[in-house]
Amino acid sequence: MATRTSSAPRGSSNSKSGGSSGSRTPAKSGRSGTTTARGKQAAAVEPQQPWALRALAGVWQGIGHVVGAGVRRIGHDVSDLDPADRRDGAALFNLALGVFIATFAWWGFKGWFPDVVYSILNGTFGWISLLLPFMLFVCAFRLFRQPWDVRGNNRVGIGFLVMAVAGTGLAHIFGGQPTVADGFDGLRRAGGMVGFLAASPLAAIHPVVPVIAYGALAFVSVLIVTATPFGAIPRRIREAYEHLMGVDLMDAEGKSGDSHDRSYLYENDAVEAPKKKRRKRIFGKDDDGAGIEGYVGDEAFEHAIVDDDAAAGKGAPSVPPGVRRPTQAEIAVEKIKAAQGLGKAPAGDATEAIPVVSAAAPTAPVMVPSAPVSPQPPPTPIPQRTEQLSLAGDVTYTLPSADNLTPGSVPKERTEANDAVVAALTDTLQQFNVDATVTGFSRGPTVTRYEIELAPGTKVERVTALSKNISYAVASSDVRILSPIPGKSAIGIEIPNTDRETVSLGDVLRSQNARRTDHPMVMGVGKDVEGGFVVANLAKMPHMLVAGATGAGKSSFVNSMITSILMRATPDEVRMVMVDPKRVELTAYEGVPHLITPIITNPKKAAEALQWVVREMDARYDDLANYGYKHLDDFNKAVRAGKVVPPPDSKRVIKPYPYLLVIVDELADLMMVAPRDVEDSIVRITQLARAAGIHLVLATQRPSVDVVTGLIKANVPSRMAFATSSVTDSRVVLDQPGAEKLIGQGDALFLPMGASKAMRVQGAWVSESEIHRVVEHVKGQLKAVYREDVAAEAPKKQIDDDIGDDLEVLLQATELVVTTQFGSTSMLQRKLRVGFAKAGRLMDLLESRGVVGPSEGSKARDVLVKPDDLAPVLAAMKGLEAPAAPDAHTAALSENANANIAVGGYAEDLVAADLENRKQATDYYDGADSTDDGDEGGEDAWSLTGR
Ligand SMILES: Nc1ncnc2c1ncn2[C@@H]1O[C@H](COP(=O)(O)OP(=O)(O)OP(=O)(O)O)[C@@H](O)[C@H]1O
């Protein structure tokens, strides 16, 4: 969907809105929306100035603009200022006055004129006049750079005035309390005339009184100038200290970290109180952390070693909260291993305790007059990993440089469009007599969330019922109302920005959270509604469904994900299988060494590749079970530590397994060719693969129940929903409405595992040229070495002629009959929804293969195959070799005499999982049955995939 470009309604109402929104007067809009109009009016009514005066004013303004243009380019460039906002004339006046006073007061110019001026100044303010140029320079600087911040500028001006008065008062006391009778010389050396007038009445009481009074006033003036409320003094002191010393005290304490990018990590159990509060705000979770199990990783993740350098990055000796610092001994062991060339500890080691998702630290709504614009930090380079990344075969690998990803535009915290919307919302509330106020807004890249607070006794429904009127007032149909904003007593109204911003992947990867971890599976997701960066650890998802209508941004998201991995992970850490039935979306990555097989474009081959993934998973499980580890990370760590030794007679060299990321760009195409096989593989992988380090990302533009079947959904816990075409699709993806209101082009609802509320994010964008640069770098480092068995032709299926095209339905019939142990033709008819003739034919085929006995008239046939033998029978029908006996894992275990109890338990788990699979299959048909009986024409969420 396109972004709306219609101009904001009723600019002239801005000033009104400003008033009604209290302190958060949209000064900017007030000034811009209305200044121009005001200016025009003024031009119409005011008498014409004499031309000489106008010429002079013009010249003054001209010089002001030239100087202003230079000042605005100092440091962070703010020269994109709206010309209507400039106050360069006034700023130049402050600057000129400051220079003028400095010439006499600082540099001691002599002569009658300087002497007169100096005497006046000195006589008035005493030696405090030395500070006046400094104050004027600050005022000029602000006026040049932030002229729209009228309140802020006034505040600074008033603060300086108070400071000057307090200073003169103190100077008077400490200057020996001269009197006028002593002559002006004495006054000049103290606080001047102002100091005398200010301090002498109080000094008459006691000399200490003016010292205390003006000392306090001087302190208050500093607070006014720096916009520091009393409560914020410690924080400001800490920030000043951090700024001066270049350290991050919060980080060092394991707290929130960089406040600039306003990002933070959703933590595991070890979070501190403030963090929990933040999490609550987004997801509406309890402070006790209930419902965040999704963020609590595997045991292996939580007890991972943290590599200091890796976790903290260069020069930042901090570790993420909730992560254990390594002991000195552990650090030493890791270093020795690295030196011995045993392979570096994987980045994952350092960061496996990093939780799944990080998102924006919710910030105060933006209508704070003192800080209307946050300047974009100069792009910090993505720190290169410091350790040498040596791959197997002694190849040294360097990750792509940060320069490959260009920084995005400066994020805006407030624009005129926002102010216009505030005005429109306020008008609407007033028109309908709803006693509520727009108290602020948080601007994200795509949408802005406006916060509305109700007066006591006003019903929430009064606002939510206005949703259509609000849409009308702001001229947008994509208005989303959150009532309440999770964790806040306020109603949120999300309205698309007419001036939306693109979120660059480079910026996301440069954010604090992404930099804090070296975990190779961390990807840049985008930015949330409050403008905070969101990153996610794919290893903790552990599988993700990405869905949305055509053009909504799925492929761009997949591109960001792959590029993130290429930027951060070596081929030894992460390997990928890419399935791209559309043939065009992922071709850019052809040949990258992270690929395990060429990009698969043929859906049939893709189905086979999924089966390979299942086999790979089983192989990994065998190793885990044999050597007694519960998670691949533990196993890899042990391999690197040399603790995993193959049996003496084996020639096998055991190496750490890389994470395996399987990306399917269009699931629907796969489900069309081999629904059953694909679903089986996906379910099996998703149920078990997490501990084996295998993660699936399934993207589809058809989130309908025949593509995203109930079984797939149940096993893919993390969801990323881009704009869907209907509320039904949104429900399929997220189990809740909302995605149909998204506005496309990367606008998404992100529901990571364990979260109950979806988080709105604008997906990160990576351009083709950026991808090209990254890919070129990666390919230049290493050639792709493909595994032959993945894309190899699967063993030819010898499907019997008499089965023909009915294989799928025959398999279903076999499974049905065997699992229910009931050989009835009419049951097949009902459950498979086939006609009598077809059901009869299926029964004949089953009889010919020895699944059921001969017909016994109207009685059900005997079922000759036991549920335990179902797998080989199904394989035989498919023309494949029968799979290994179900107890293969247990058999493998028994070979290992030293297998410990945990391993045994795990093998049992596997068998139990197998049984659970079968049970689900039975439930599946039962589900179909009940729907059948209950609602003939209704939507069948558990419909058979064969149909
Ligand atoms: N994160 C984003 N930021 C900015 N623009 C985006 C973003 N994601 C997508 N777009 C815009 O939307 C267009 C379509 O995106 P994309 O190709 O990813 O959609 P899609 O959902 O994969 O569509 P299809 O299913 O047809 O392939 C892009 O060409 C781009 O212009």
pLDDT score of 792: 52
For residue 844, give every residue at least 6 positions away whose Cβ sits within 8 Å of its Cβ, in sequence order, or none: none
Give the residue with greater pLDDT, 796 vs 355: 796
Query: Does pLDDT of 907 surpass 60?
Result: no
Comparison of pLDDT for 278 and 686, the residue scoring more: 686
Residue 572 domain flag: yes
Q: In the prediction, which pLDDT does 902 show?
A: 27
Higher per-residue confidence, 381 vs 262: 381
Taking the centre of ligand 1 as the mean of its atom positions, its distance from the CA of residue 588, in whole angstroms, is 16
**Which phi-psi region, left, alpha or beta, contains residue 782 (left: φ > 0; alpha: ψ -120 to 50)?**
beta
pLDDT of residue 16: 34
Residues 6 or more apart whose CB falls under 8 angstroms from that of 485 comprise 281, 449, 451, 491, 492
Atom of ligand 1 nearest to the CA of 559: 18
Position in ligand 1 atom list of the atom nearest CA 548? 21
Q: What is the pLDDT of residues 742-794, one digit of tens each?
A: 888 899 999 998 888 888 899 999 999 999 999 999 998 888 888 776 655 54
Beta bridge partners of 720: 546, 750
End of a domain among 500, 527, 557? 500
Q: DSSP of 573-595, one letter per residue?
A: TEEEEEE-TTSSSSGGGTT-TTB
Whether complex ipTM tops 0.85: yes
Residue 307, pLDDT above cutoff 70? no
H-helix segments, 662-806:
667-673, 675-688, 710-715, 727-734, 768-781, 788-791
- At residue 772, the pLDDT reads 93
Q: Return the exposure string of 752-770: e unless at least 16 CB atoms fall within 10 Å of the residue's CB, then b.
A: bbbbebbbbbbbbbbbeeb
pLDDT of residue 4: 31
Ligand 1 centroid – CA 556 distance (Å): 5
pLDDT score at 924: 30
For residue 406, the CA-to-ligand 1 centroid distance in Å is: 19
Q: Are 16 and 57 within one domain? A: no
Question: Which ligand 1 atom sits nearest the alpha carbon of residue 585?
Answer: 27
- Same domain (yes/no): 101, 177: yes
Ligand 1 atom nearest residue 558's Cα: 18
| Closest atom of ligand 1 relative to the 762 alpha carbon | 1
Confidence of residue 562 (pLDDT cuts 50, 70, 90): very high
pLDDT band at 564 (very low <50, low <70, confident <90, very high): very high
Residue 299 inside a domain? The answer is: no
Instruction: Taking residues 94-123, report their average pLDDT.
Output: 81
Query: Which of the four pLDDT bands, split at 50, 70 and 90, describes residue 359?
Result: very low
Buried residues in 587-620 as b, exposed as e (16+ CB within 10 A): ebbeebbbbbbebbbebebbbbbbbbbbebbbeb
What's the CA-to-centroid distance between 494 and ligand 1, angstroms? 21
Which residue owns the Cα nearest ligand 1 atom 16? 553
Measured by CA distance, the residue closest to atom 22 of ligand 1 is 555
Same domain? 571 vs 431? no
Q: Which of 881, 869, 880 is nearest to 817 (CA)?
A: 869
Least confident of 112-126, 178-192, 205-219, 312-326: 312-326
- The residue type of 229 is P
| pLDDT value of residue 799 | 56
Q: Which residues sit in the known binding site for ATP?
A: 548-555
End-of-domain residue from the set 227, 250, 276: 227
Distance CA 594, CA 52 (A): 73
Report the range of poorest mean pLDDT among 263-272, 514-523, 724-733.
263-272
- Contact at 8 Å (CB) between 583 and 604? no
Name the residue at shortest CA distance from atom 18 of ligand 1.
553
- ∠ CA 125-126-132 to the nearest 5 degrees? 55
Q: Do residues 440 and 533 share a domain?
A: no
Cα separation, 861 vs 866, whole angstroms: 14
Nearest CA to ligand 1 atom 29: 551
Structure tokens belonging to residue 7:
């101009």
Q: Which residue CA neighbors atom 2 of ligand 1 most closely?
A: 746
Same domain, 729 and 758: yes
Among 358, 342, 344, CA closest to 310 = 344
Task: Report the atom number in ligand 1 closest to the C-alpha of 764.
Answer: 1
Nearest CA to 582 among 469, 459, 670? 670
How many whole angstroms separate alpha carbon 71 and alpha carbon 79? 9
Assess whether 74 and 128 both reside in one domain: yes
Please indicate, yes or no, if residue 107 is contained in any of the structural domains: yes
**Which amino acid is located at 929 in the chain?**
D
122 and 196 co-located in one domain: yes
740 lies in the same domain as 770: yes
332 or 629: which carries more pLDDT confidence? 629
**Contacts of 65 by beta carbon, 8 Å cutoff, 6+ apart:** 86, 88
Q: What is the whole-number distance in angstroms between the Cα of residue 758 and the centre of ligand 1? A: 20
- List, for residues 132-191, the tens digit of each pLDDT value: 888 999 999 988 888 877 888 888 999 999 998 999 888 888 888 888 777 777 777 788
Give residue 2 CA to ligand 1 midpoint distance, Å: 11
CA of 551 to the centre of ligand 1 (A): 5
Residue nearest to atom 26 of ligand 1 (CA): 550
* Cα 886 to middle of ligand 1, angstroms: 45
pLDDT value at residue 51: 79
| In a domain? residue 907 | yes
Q: Whose CA is nearest to atom 6 of ligand 1?
A: 745
Ligand 1 lining (C-beta closer than 6 Å): 502, 548, 550-556, 701, 722, 745-746, 763, 765
CA atoms within 13 A on the CB side of 728: 8
Residue ranges at the known binding site: 548-555
Are residues 464 and 532 both part of a single domain? Answer: no
Task: Provide the 3-class DSSP secondary structure of residue 610.
Answer: helix
Beta bridge pairs of residue 481: 493
User: How many Cβ atoms sit within 10 Å of the Cβ of residue 443?
Assistant: 24
Pocket-testing residue among 556, 557, 585, 707, ligand 1, by greatest number of atoms within 8 A of Cβ: 556
Q: Which atom of ligand 1 is nearest to the CA of 701?
A: 25
CATH number at residue 431: 3.30.980.40
Contact 386, 483 (CB under 8 A): no
Q: Which atom of ligand 1 is nearest to the CA of 744?
A: 12
- Ligand 1 mutation pick, 406, 555, 558, 564, max ligand atoms within 8 A of CB: 555
The pLDDT score that the predictor gives to residue 247 is: 56
Least confident of 444-458, 518-532, 797-811: 797-811
Q: How far is the CA of 538 from the centre of ligand 1 (A)?
A: 21
CB atoms within 10 A of CB 559: 25
Structure tokens at 259: 């406040």
- Mean pLDDT, all residues of the chain: 71
* 565: confidence class by pLDDT, cuts 50, 70, 90: very high
Three-class HEC string of 678-711? HHHHHHHHHHHHHHHCEEEEEEECCCCCCCCCHH
Structure confidence at residue 721 (pLDDT): 93
Percent of the chain predicted with pLDDT > 90 = 14
Containing domain of residue 750, as a range?
518-791
Instruction: Say how many Å lie between the CA of residue 729 and the centre of ligand 1.
Output: 18
Atom index in ligand 1 nearest the CA of residue 556 equals 18
Domain co-membership, 597 together with 735: yes
**Calpha distance 847→856 (Å, rounded):** 12
Q: Is residue 290 part of a domain?
A: no
- Which residue minimizes the CA distance to atom 11 of ligand 1? 745
- Which of 528, 545, 557, 745 gets mutated to test ligand 1 (max ligand atoms within 8 A of its CB)? 745
Domain count, the chain: 4
Q: Does any domain span residue 341?
A: no
Whether 645 shows a pLDDT value over 60: the answer reads yes
| Within-domain flag for 43 | no
We report the CATH number of the domain holding residue 813 as: 1.10.10.10
Q: Do 820 and 733 share a structural domain?
A: no
Ligand 1, atom 31: closest residue by C-alpha? 745
Helix, strand, coil abundance in the chain, percent, nearest 5: 50, 10, 40
Q: Across the strands, what pairs with 751? A: 719
Read off the pLDDT of residues 668-683 as tens digits, 9 standing for 90 and up.
888 887 788 888 888 8
The pLDDT of residue 419 is 87
All residues at 6 or more sequence positions from 282 whose CB lies less than 8 Å from its CB, including other chains? 359, 362, 486, 487, 528, 757, 759
Please report where in the chains the tokens 């971890």 appear, as a residue.
517
Please determine, for residue 513, whether its predicted confidence score (pLDDT) is greater than 80: no
Residue 308 burial (10 A CB sphere; 0-12, 13-18, 19+): middle
Determine which residue's CA is closest to atom 30 belonging to ligand 1. Answer: 745
CB within 8 Å of 655: residues ≥ 6 apart:
392, 639
pLDDT (tens digit, 9 = 90+) per residue, 577-596? 999 888 888 899 999 999 98
Three-state SS annotation for 120-153: HHHHHHHHHHHHHHHHHHHHHHHHHHCCCCHHHH
703 in a structural domain: yes
| CA 311/CA 877 separation, integer angstroms | 53
- Alpha-carbon separation of residue 323 from 350, 690, 707, 776 (angstroms): 9, 21, 39, 35
Ligand 1 centre to CA of 365 (Å) is: 30
Number of alpha carbons in the 13 Å side-chain half-sphere of residue 936: 0
Instruction: Please give the pLDDT value at position 273.
Output: 31
CATH number where 732 lies: 3.40.50.300
Alpha helices, H only, 267-402: 273-283, 299-302, 308-312, 328-339, 347-351
Mean pLDDT calculated for residue range 495-507: 87
Cα–ligand 1 centroid distance for 722 (angstroms): 10
DSSP 388-450: -EEETTTEEE-PPPGGGS---PPPPS--HHHHHHHHHHHHHHHHTT--EEEEEEEE-SSEEEE
Give the number of the atom of ligand 1 that is nearest the alpha carbon of residue 503. 3
pTM of the model: 0.51
d(CA 255, CA 283): 20
Distance 746 CA to ligand 1 centre (A): 6
Q: Mark whether 603 and 752 lie in a shared domain.
A: yes
**CA of residue 662 to ligand 1 center, whole Å:** 21
How far is the first Cα of the chain from the last one, in angstroms, to the nearest whole number?
Answer: 32
Rounded distance, CA 194 to CA 130, Å?
14
For residues 293 and 278, give the distance between their C-alpha atoms in angstroms, rounded to a whole number. Answer: 17
| Neighbour tally for 801: CB within 10 Å | 5
Residue 661's pLDDT is 93
Q: pLDDT by residue (tens digit) across 22-51?
A: 333 333 333 333 333 333 333 334 455 677
* Ligand 1 atom closest to the CA of 666, numbered from 1: 25
Q: H-type helices in 206-294, by residue range?
A: 208-225, 233-245, 249-252, 273-283
Distance 760 CA to ligand 1 centre (A): 17
Of 723, 756, 791, the one marking the end of a domain is 791
Return phi, psi of residue 923, to 5°.
-55, -35
Q: What is the DSSP letter of 859?
A: B
Separation of CA 482 and ligand 1 centre (Å): 26
pLDDT band at 525 (very low <50, low <70, confident <90, very high): very high
Identify the weakest region by mean pLDDT among 278-287, 325-334, 719-728, 832-841. 278-287
Name the least confident of 41-55, 58-72, 121-135, 692-706.
41-55
- Tell me what pLDDT residue 541 has: 84
Q: Which atom of ligand 1 is nearest to the CA of 526?
A: 1
Measured in Å, residue 745 CA sits from the centre of ligand 1 at 5
Q: In the predicted model, what is the mean pLDDT of residues 903-909?
A: 31
CA distances from 425 to 417, 493, 585 (A): 12, 10, 41
- DSSP letter at 847? H
Is the model's pLDDT at 412 over the cut of 60? yes
Strands 395-397 and 436-443, bridge-based pairing = unpaired
Band of pLDDT at residue 395, cut at 50, 70 and 90 = low
The set of residues, in sequence order, having a beta carbon less than 8 Å from that of 571 and lying 6+ positions away, is 391, 397, 593, 594, 658, 782
Indicate which residue's Cα is closest to atom 15 of ligand 1.
553
What is the number of the ligand 1 atom nearest to the C-alpha of 552? Answer: 21
